[in-house]
A and B are shown apart, each in its own frame.
Chain A
């Protein structure tokens, strides 16, 4: 059997601000305050919980950074890591995380496992983008991104299945973060930073009778539905995401993955637009907005697509908002509602109620929208 390589990065300060009520752990000053308030680092413990599930794998090399950035967690599981890089113990920085990720990419790890929160996910994203499969062990205060397994044990298990070749699908998942400084002052503003490539399995109990072509087939089906029914001389404001990207791909266009694009008569009219550009384009054109809920959270507006502002939504009209989602994404939302948080209570109110969600060609789900 071939040797497989797993990279492990632990952000030792991830989650440190949570229990002491600091709404995050970004910034050296906050980390110092958290420690003063008696915070205990959580990420090492959670990394160990994940690594426990990987202990039984043969022919697996663990590559990690020194001490608290991973080495300790691997050794706590009685495993022998290959340690690279260097750090200043007790004073690790985001730069260390980025360096570690880059070096592991160069060493061609098969999977990069990291323990941290949204700040850590952003650092990993900046360092490696979608060049290597990544999976998050949830350990931070802010877990808005969709790159984590549901708990540390599941992260370890999914990693093991992926390394054994039992899970082969990869999906691009959102890296989201909120501005911590703004949150501390009472405002929430989530931004979409990009996508990491994560191993993906609809369910670990998938069985013979429901074998399907997976999420890819659903995406193609949704894109076909939208493109088939596109109206002439109507602006299509396409929100961020991989679901909406399927629509532009169907048209042979390139999508700004984390931005908003505008399509007119099946051609790209404007890419990566902001609110004022949108408002200007809306003069003299009927328009439709195509958005997809954020995986795991269900936000339609107000998270990662603030360009589509309350003003824009008001001009386009509620009846021209098209919500698209694969059935698989809806299942993961369970019974929770879809959400809107545009910043304008009046617009939020208009958008609430029941909405149809395009789940495939001529297929719709009816889901509740709340604010």
Chain B
């Protein structure tokens, strides 16, 4: 196998062999630009007279108000053109299954077992419709109830909703529950402040804000840990909740988490635990045991369903018995005879999104947990932490990189590194290292909101990668860092073996030029150019 080749022949005459890689480049236009009037993928034959005479005008039953006034402005292409287009784009991509994907820290890019994909695309699941009668979907409802029991065991919480569409949706759910709780006690107006930390995932601040709270952000103390004294200074009778990630996005576990929870509880606030970074603590610590009132998991990432654009994602909000009445509707329940959707929950925060969760995501997560068992889950966490600290040690051997904050302490499942020293010495930035690393076929990602750590990169090796994989990754990074000193021009002009050579990011800072749709592109960019 190719993989074994590279580890077997890692060195020639004491010199490191790095993987040789070159990406396909197709100069492929945007699909709208390929459109030619009248091109068609399929020409549907006319309905035979015999059939038409029996069915009549099938469209006549559609109400006038639901009919399109004009056809959608879709690109007009033949089927092979469409196929070719997307195959080409897929070749111009450095996907998660194509490389040693440890460079996208905070995203837990673990391997998603393909058998779980097969289960999710099985017609028994794929052909279900959320509007089907409960009686006809007992199987998937049972899986949802069973999966909820698993999440309860992992977190210690008493009830879960699987409805949220992803991590941020689950955090928003929790913020809504916090508001509903204080409303139920007549304190909603008074308790309008949510406290978070700068290295908690920024969704905590964003969701609290969206749910109507004021947001207070704590900065780390001198040792780089979440600042307990700052928390004590921040809490008051206005505190609605603490919403934090732990370990934080730096990979640092808050050693005073119990005190954090106690300070907020003493002030009358709730504590919500963003467990997006749970991969290193599965089976080891539990949110409720630490005193939290709410938590959430990402079923994509931690529970192996594909992440982000490979998704869709899935969130799960968990709460204590006291807060269960506020969970979104419906909850899935079992009455001893059958599984059913419970909408009769008068204090619920309502419906977060249609239906009751992404069934394929829940099925993948359930299958993943069942294939591991409780011991396997703990092993996942242990290997993820071991992998990360192995990588940390190897990375810190590279001159010019550091792991800021909590000096010389180990990290949980990821590390936010800083190349500040290398940048000062060579003028090469973290982003440029990443572009050069792409020349060796690995992904290295530099989006790290907020920009507190200079020249950041965050690596999260998860449990999916072997020692050989990690060695290959870190060898490439070490090689590129060395090139920054010996041949900076080569690094600055990278990538050389990839499709896209450099992207001008400045329009992204300019609302008048950014365009997320073709229509917006035509309006904002093409028209102004003409």
Contact = CB atoms under 8 A, between A and B. Distances in A.
Contacts of A208: 447, 505, 508
Interface stretch (B39-47, B217-225, B291-299, B470-478): B217-225
A205 B447 CA distance: 7
Interface residues of A, number: 40
A2 interface: no
B230 A366 contact: yes
Contacts of A356: 216, 234
B217 A364 contact: yes
B353 interface: no
Main secondary structure of the interface of B (DSSP, over half): loop
Interface string A201-245: 011111111111110000000000000000000000000000000
Contact of A367 (B219, B222, B509, B514): B219
B529 to A, nearest CB: 16
13 contacts: A153-B424, A206-B508, A208-B508, A210-B447, A211-B505, A211-B508, A211-B514, A213-B510, A327-B450, A328-B451, A354-B229, A365-B217, A366-B230
A265 interface: no
Interface stretch (B64-72, B164-172, B425-433): B425-433
Interface of A: 53, 151, 153-154, 157, 165-169, 202-214, 327-328, 330-331, 334-335, 353-354, 356, 359, 362-368
B230 A354 contact: yes
Contacts of B430: 205
A365 B217 CA distance: 4
Given A331-B450, A366-B230, A366-B233, A212 B509 contact: yes
Contact of A354 (B234, B424, B454, B504): B234
B10 interface: no
B451 A202 contact: yes
B346 interface: no
B32 to A, nearest CB: 21
Contacts of B220: 335
Interface string B482-506: 0000000000000000000000111
A166 B452 contact: no
Interface in B441-484: 445-452, 454-456
Contacts of A207: 431, 445-447, 505
B216 A205 contact: no
- List the 5 shortest-distance A-B pairs measured between CB atoms, nearest first: A211-B508, A354-B233, A207-B447, A209-B447, A362-B214
Contact of A365 (B216, B429, B448, B514): B216
Contacts of A364: 214-217
Nearest to B212: A362
Given A167-B506, A202-B451, A211-B505, 16 more contacts: A151-B424, A157-B427, A205-B430, A205-B431, A205-B455, A206-B451, A207-B447, A210-B447, A211-B509, A211-B514, A214-B509, A335-B219, A335-B222, A363-B205, A365-B218, A368-B230
Given A214-B509, A362-B209, A368-B230, A205 B449 contact: no
A29 B412 CA distance: 59
A213 B430 CA distance: 22
A135 to B, nearest CB: 16
Interface in B147-171: none
